[in-house]
Structure 1
Amino acid sequence: MTRRRQGRPWNVVPENTSDDPYDAYLNWASKRQEAATMPTAAEYSDRRRRRRSPRHPASALAERWTVVDDVDVFYRESPEPPAAPVMMHLHGFGLSGRYLLPTAERLRDEFHILVPDLPGFGRSGRPSEPLDVPELAHAATRFLDDRGIERATLVGNSMGCPIICEFAHNHPERIDRAILVSPAGGLHNQPLRRAVGQLARDGTREPPRMMRVAAPDYVRFGVPSTVRMFRALTRYPSLDRLLALEIPTLVVIGDRDPLMPGPDRIREVASLTDNHVLVVVMEGAAHAINFSNPGELAHVIRLFMADQPIVDDPDSPGFTRAYEIHRGTLHPAPKAPPDGAAPAG
């Protein structure tokens, strides 16, 4: 006998039991609809990446994603990688790879360029625990593994330099050359309040457009991560690792960089031992040389990669001047300069 209530459907009255056929149908249909609209893990990851991807390309490099140790990693790459040596650019403290693009873009046709946002930085995902310098070096290694790349030249700015030193310490067979631009993180940057003051002074010496690039990265990175990363940097033996490198190493410093000791002090320290280090000063440059002086830096990198003497960039007259202040006894001897080039300054 069917139960009915006048003016109301039979299946919505309170006394109906839960095993009514129509109730079972509604439950089945609801679950089927949920299953149809529920994204898979791959679809969810793809949606999350699209939300974090730049609205407009920041350079002529291709913008891509991959997964390294279960973390989404955003990176940029030569759009049509040439059959040339790989050159990976590693960013500094609290930043993403975006500010490295002006220099990396100029080298994209001569080298296979890679510019990742390391895990926890920029648009890449955050690992379950914050990474210190050795762990970031491991992440850089795993990124190259993911790309199927066995060896590379590494270019770093600021924090990227100790990461390169650690990479070379652990995997000397996988690094061809090291290019360290404004290698910060030593005693000159301690304690934290001193480093903050140095960063503030550097901000007034960088191009104003640098703030539009750096500010979103710093906000995304956050204050707690900044404090943890600073402690990790100051505990890392950057100078010892640098002088122990057994590959040709280029160090580029700006003479207006408040985060670095003066050129005379750097020359003195570099001369204490036999090493593979070539030190070049860039007049008029501050800390973020990869962003502020990309033409001059790309010119110096080309000369270094070809073992040619460091001469000023003829295509950037009047902007700045780059000159060599130290060539380690173990560094390759310079070859003859290109036709028409001036001798090293």
Structure 2
Amino acid sequence: MTSPQSASRPGQPRRLPRKPASGLTEKWTRIDGVDVFYRESPVVPQDPRVMAHIHGFGLSGRYLLPTAERLADEFHTYVPDLPGFGRSGKRKDMLDIPDLAQAAVDFFDDRGVEKATLVGNSMGCPVIVEFAHRYPDRIDRAVLVSPAGGVFNQPLRRAIRQLSADAPREPVRMARVAVPDYVRFGVPSTMRMFRSLTQYPTLQRLLEMRLPTLVVLGQRDPLLPHAHRVDEIASQTDSHVLVVLLEGAAHAINFSHPDQLAHVIRSFMDDKPIENDPLWPGHVRLYEVHRGKNHPPIQG
């Protein structure tokens, strides 16, 4: 394990963008021979709870920054690029969902983090579910935003159609973040990672989880089943799952609706009712899809 370096790659100088992508501090560390790039709260809050944001398929953590920044003053925040993604180095063996969960644990070990809340988007959600399955004592709470994978995204041509339908529903500026990440990730990695993502038993693992879990869905997300199907699935669990639908949002909620998502996460973390803000645009509202009996209801 090594100490983080904010301006250079471990062992070799590396130029960072002239203008940092966010207000979080950009750092490097080296884990098992792989350079890992991550962002961290510039100032650690007093008595902080640790929160790590886990990115989606083919992407870096950059598109998660709008939400992460809004929570960084209240939580000791980390936004890593997992090995093989974004600016982090690649491993010789191709990573799958269990490997990425192990990579997250290795990152926490490297940073001296014993336990954290994990916030994931898309592929990051099954990574979190696997993390909770293998290391239940290392995770405090789980926030699953637009979870992807499973039979609903099979086969690949169907997933491509879903992504194509989602693209025009996202902010135009999302392309400036996502396209360079996808190009860097590459076609061979995409094929292998897609196979791992869609074969991973996300639903089975989710139903086995016994920790407070928030699931946030976009009402306009073509990559997920209809809300009534999600409610049907969530009803198979006990009282640990809260499912919220965000009207007007598609798949990349962490990027497109950071104020609303940060609000939901903040309320969930403090066990408070989730309330709609009257200052939000008229097409943006929160709706409860499923609530375990221990979760306060949405109000407003």
Aligning the two structures, in what range does the TM-score lie when normalised by the shorter sequence?
over 0.9
Residue number in structure 2 paired with 1:156: 120
Aligned amino acid, residue 299 of structure 2 = A
Aligned amino acid, residue 42 of structure 2 = P
Distance 1:311 1:44, change over 3 A: closer
Alignment of 1:241-260 (within 5 A): 241-260=205-224
Residue by residue, what CA displacement relative to the aligned partner does 1:224-261 show, whole Å, maximum 9, x if unpaired?
Answer: 10000000011110011112111000000001000001
Aligned amino acid, residue 306 of structure 1 = D
Matched, 1:210 2:183: no
Residue number in structure 2 paired with 1:231: 195
- SS at structure 2 position matched to 1:56: coil
- SS at structure 2 position matched to 1:325: strand
Distance 1:271 1:66, change over 3 A: same
Aligned amino acid, residue 99 of structure 1 = Y
Structure 1 regions of 5+ residues with no counterpart? 1-42, 336-342
What percent identity do the matched residue pairs reach? Answer: 67
Deviation at 1:273, TM superposition (A): 3.5
CA contact (8 A) 2:218 2:247 kept: yes
Deviation at 1:314, TM superposition (A): 4.0
User: Following the alignment from structure 1 to structure 2, what is the Cα–Cα distance between the partners of residues 187 and 133?
Assistant: 16
Aligned amino acid, residue 75 of structure 1 = Y
CA contact (8 A) 1:157 1:288 kept: yes
User: Following the alignment from structure 2 to structure 1, what is the Cα–Cα distance between the partners of residues 194 and 245?
Assistant: 25
Deviation at 1:167, TM superposition (A): 0.5
Structure of larger gyration radius: 1
Deviation at 1:44, TM superposition (A): 8.3
User: Following the alignment from structure 2 to structure 1, what is the Cα–Cα distance between the partners of residues 116 and 238?
Assistant: 24
Residue by residue, what CA displacement relative to the aligned partner does 1:190-211 show, whole Å, maximum 9, x if unpaired?
Answer: 0000001100110010000000
Structure 2 regions of 5+ residues with no counterpart? 1-7
Deviation at 1:131, TM superposition (A): 0.5
Deviation at 1:274, TM superposition (A): 2.2
What is the number of residues matched between the two proteins? Answer: 292
Deviation at 1:326, TM superposition (A): 0.5
Distance 1:82 1:195, change over 3 A: same
User: Following the alignment from structure 1 to structure 2, what is the Cα–Cα distance between the partners of residues 189 and 313?
Assistant: 33
CA contact (8 A) 1:181 1:251 kept: yes
Residue number in structure 1 paired with 2:238: 274
Residue number in structure 2 paired with 1:310: 274
The alignment yields a C-alpha RMSD, in angstroms, of: 1.6
User: Following the alignment from structure 2 to structure 1, what is the Cα–Cα distance between the partners of residues 208 and 292?
Assistant: 12
User: Following the alignment from structure 1 to structure 2, what is the Cα–Cα distance between the partners of residues 148 and 44?
Assistant: 20
CA contact (8 A) 1:243 1:275 kept: no
- SS at structure 2 position matched to 1:140: helix
Residue by residue, what CA displacement relative to the aligned partner does 1:103-123 show, whole Å, maximum 9, x if unpaired?
Answer: 000001000000000000000
Residue by residue, what CA displacement relative to the aligned partner does 1:17-68 show, whole Å, maximum 9, x if unpaired?
Answer: xxxxxxxxxxxxxxxxxxxxxxxxxx98543x514x3332011100000011
User: Following the alignment from structure 1 to structure 2, what is the Cα–Cα distance between the partners of residues 313 and 72?
Assistant: 42
Deviation at 1:317, TM superposition (A): 4.0
User: Following the alignment from structure 1 to structure 2, what is the Cα–Cα distance between the partners of residues 91 and 238?
Assistant: 16
TM-score, length-normalised on structure 2? 0.94
CA contact (8 A) 2:34 2:89 kept: yes
User: Following the alignment from structure 2 to structure 1, what is the Cα–Cα distance between the partners of residues 9 and 26?
Assistant: 19
Relative contact order, higher structure (CA 8 A, sep 6+):
2
TM-score, length-normalised on structure 1? 0.82
Residue number in structure 1 paired with 2:299: 344
User: Following the alignment from structure 1 to structure 2, what is the Cα–Cα distance between the partners of residues 245 and 101?
Assistant: 27
CA contact (8 A) 2:220 2:248 kept: yes
